[in-house]
Amino acid sequence: MTLRFVTRVAAAAALTAVFAVPASAQTYPNKPIKMIVSIAAGSLTDVIMRAAANELSPRLGQPVVIENRGGAAGIPAAQACANSPGDGYTLCNVFHNQLSFNPVMFNKLPYDADKDLVPIARLYFLIESIAVHPSLGVESVAQLKTLAQSKKGGLNWGTLGAGSAPELFLKWINKEWGTEIVGIPYRGGGPMAQAVAANEVQVAGVGLGNFLGLHQGGKVKVIAVSAPKRSALVPNVMTFQEAGLGGYPQRGWWGLSAPKGTSKEIVAKLNAEFVRLFSDPKFTAFLDKQAVVPAPTTPEAFAAFVKQDRVHAANLLKLANVPAKDYTPPPPPKPQ
């Protein structure tokens, strides 16, 4: 068999593979793509995904339009994704609550995390943090603990709603400290950080990137971060381990999924584009400044990670002493 013959056979096989790809995948995308971001506008992830959309739109040849659906531990956003057509024109920016925590925390969810959402890629890990309003006079987690123990029910803590990771962390704090800090829900880290700055709540625990500008401006004080070592962005702030919070190993993350029915070819194309962007040195430098750690994966690695992370979530629920319960949809908003 000659080399020329082998080359012709290989070329023919490649050509056959091209024609085997569905026509829709060959021409994809030919209209704007909607990305549902499961957090309020102005929050850390919203900022990151809008930057990603700006970079990806010219590469894909179509606009990537952000639609924010924050609140309720990401359940309404995941439901909207699950109910969307699997044609590649709806993308779902997903996080730990939607795929890891909610399935072990709630019965009767309005979406199936395994069947309704197709994994595309994990994108990054968050560096979590705790921040307080300066008027508390608190310089450390130890001082916050002492203050909270002396003021039963006198402190408010910003969360992302019932069942959210920040709410679970607060439940664990109250259990460990014997305190009664009250959780106040917000639709995203951005609104939560602004609430701390305005002293609507005195404490909040969410991604560090939400607090950086306010911390540098003296409007909030970051007192702990969940990184393995101190962050260069706030070098004088203790890690959770140093602050005595190592018993609750938080690791928030964000990724990308698509509604069920999205073809493997479209998933592969989207994965390649997002992984390339979240591995690009210029973009990762931007991510570093947002206090997140890029960690893009293949679709298969993302699916395996979620399976493992769900076990991790179940263990954290036990630590926080939170049993599973039936999901109750929030009441519709009151007419204006």
Please indicate, yes or no, whether the overall pTM of this predicted structure exceeds 0.85. no
What range does the domain containing 170 cover? 128-225
CATH number at residue 162: 3.40.190.10
1 lies in a domain?
A: no
- The domain that contains 36 carries what CATH number? 3.40.190.150
Evaluate whether residue 203 is within a structural domain: yes
Length of the chain: 336
Are 258 and 279 within one domain?
yes
Are 114 and 256 contained in the same domain? yes
The count of structural domains within the chain is: 2
Q: Are residues 133 and 71 in the same domain?
A: no
Question: Do both 168 and 108 map to the same domain?
Answer: no
pLDDT tens-digit readout, 116-141: 999 999 999 999 999 999 999 999 99
User: Distance between CA atoms of 53 and 214, rounded to whole angstroms?
Assistant: 25
> How much of the chain is in helix, strand and coil states, percent to nearest 5?
45, 20, 35
**Is residue 234 a part of any domain in this protein?**
no
Query: What distances in angstroms separate CA 25 from CA 28, 30, 276, one per listed residue?
Result: 5, 10, 19
Give me the residues of the chain with pLDDT under 70, please. Answer: 1-25, 249-250, 332-336
Report CA 112 to chain centroid distance, whole Å.
18
Both 150 and 193 in one domain: the answer is yes
- For the chain, the distance separating the N- and C-terminal CA atoms, rounded to the nearest angstrom, is 78
Peptide bond into 29 cis (omega under 30): yes
Is position 334 within any domain?
A: no
250-264 as b/e, with b when 16 or more CB fall inside 10 Å?
bbbbbbbbbbbebbe
Residues 182-218 pLDDT 10s: 999 998 899 999 999 999 999 999 999 999 999 999 9
Domain assignment of residue 40, yes or no: yes
* 3 assigned to some structural domain: no
136 and 212 assigned to the same domain: yes
